[in-house]
Amino acid sequence: MDFLRIGRIGFYYLTPDGREGGVWSAQSGEWQSLDDEYLREVRSGLRMAEDQRAPDLLTLPLSISVNDLQESSHESF
């Protein structure tokens, strides 16, 4: 498996053949399957992480809910 983590908001996997992948859902505590459009995005993200592609924007579902994101922005560090 290849894994892609995007900060605190996204955690994804892709099988070696690239046919299956998923996003970790913090709310349900399990992996959710991704459709072909998102699989292409994860592939692109992995290539960016390996410096095989220029940085670009990715359109992917989040691993956390918007409420979790808002709560974490109010934390003091």
Exposed/middle/buried for 49, CB within 10 Å: 0-12, 13-18, 19+?
Answer: middle
Residue 61 identity: P
For residue 10, what pLDDT is reported? 97
pTM summary value? 0.82
Q: Which domain holds residue 47?
A: 2-73
Residue 76 has pLDDT above 60, yes or no: no
pLDDT class for 77, splitting at 50, 70, 90? very low
Question: Who contacts 26 (Cβ-Cβ below 8 Å, separation ≥6)?
Answer: 63, 64, 65, 68
Q: How many domains does the chain have?
A: 1
For residue 72, what pLDDT is reported? 58
- CB–CB of 10/62 below 8 Å? yes
Tokens of 75: 């934390």
